[in-house]
Amino acid sequence: MDRIVVKGNGALSGDIPISGAKNACLTLMPATLLSEEPLTLTNAPRLSDIRTMTALLQSLGCEVTSLQDGKVLTMSSHDINNHKADYDIVRKMRASILVLGPMLARDGHAVVSLPGGCAIGARPVDLHLKALEAMGAELDLRDGYVHAKAIGGRLQGAEFTFPLVSVGATENALLAAVLAKGTTVLKNSAREPEIVDLANCLIKMGAQIEGAATGTITIQGVDSLHGATHPVVTDRIELGTYMLAPAIAGGEVELLGGQRELVGAFADKLEEAEIEVTQTNRGLKVKRKNGRVRAVDVVTEPFPGFPTDLQAQMMALMCTAEGTSVLEEKIFENRFMHAPELMRMGANIDVHGGHATVTGVDKLKGAPVMATDLRASVSLILAGLAAEGETVVSRVYHLDRGYEHVVRKLSGVGAHIERLQEGD
Ligand code: EPZ
Q: What is the mean pLDDT of residues 400-417?
A: 97
d(CA 86, CA 317): 40
User: What pLDDT, on a 0 to 100 scale, did the predictor assign at position 40?
Assistant: 98
Q: What is the mean pLDDT of residues 144-153?
A: 97
Global pTM value: 0.98
Residue 68 confidence (pLDDT) above 90: no
Give residue 169 CA to ligand 1 midpoint distance, Å: 8
Residue 292 confidence (pLDDT) above 90: no
pLDDT band for 116, please (50, 70, 90 cuts): confident
299-348 pLDDT tens trace = 999 999 999 999 999 999 999 999 999 999 999 999 999 999 999 999 99
User: What pLDDT, on a 0 to 100 scale, did the predictor assign at position 300?
Assistant: 98
Give residue 166 CA to ligand 1 midpoint distance, Å: 6
CA nearest neighbour of 237 among 66, 399, 56: 399
Contact yes or no for 148/110 (Cβ under 8 A) = yes
Contact yes or no for 82/59 (Cβ under 8 A) = yes
d(CA 367, CA 393): 8
Quick one: which H or E segment has residue 145?
strand 145-150
d(CA 241, CA 4): 17
Residue 117 confidence (pLDDT) above 90: no
pLDDT band for 290, please (50, 70, 90 cuts): confident
153-164 pLDDT tens trace = 999 999 999 999
More confident: 142 or 118: 142
Contact yes or no for 145/113 (Cβ under 8 A) = yes
* CA angle, 232 then 91 then 316, to 5°: 65
Ligand 1 atom nearest the C-alpha of 333 is 34
User: What pLDDT, on a 0 to 100 scale, did the predictor assign at position 309?
Assistant: 98
CA–chain centroid gap for 210, Å, is 23
User: What pLDDT, on a 0 to 100 scale, did the predictor assign at position 147?
Assistant: 98
pLDDT band for 193, please (50, 70, 90 cuts): very high
Q: What is the mean pLDDT of residues 221-243?
A: 98
Ligand 1 atom nearest the C-alpha of 402 is 29
Residues within 6 Å of ligand 1 by CB: 23, 26, 94-95, 121-128, 164, 166-169, 308-309, 331-332, 374-375, 402
User: What pLDDT, on a 0 to 100 scale, did the predictor assign at position 250?
Assistant: 97
Give residue 123 CA to ligand 1 midpoint distance, Å: 7
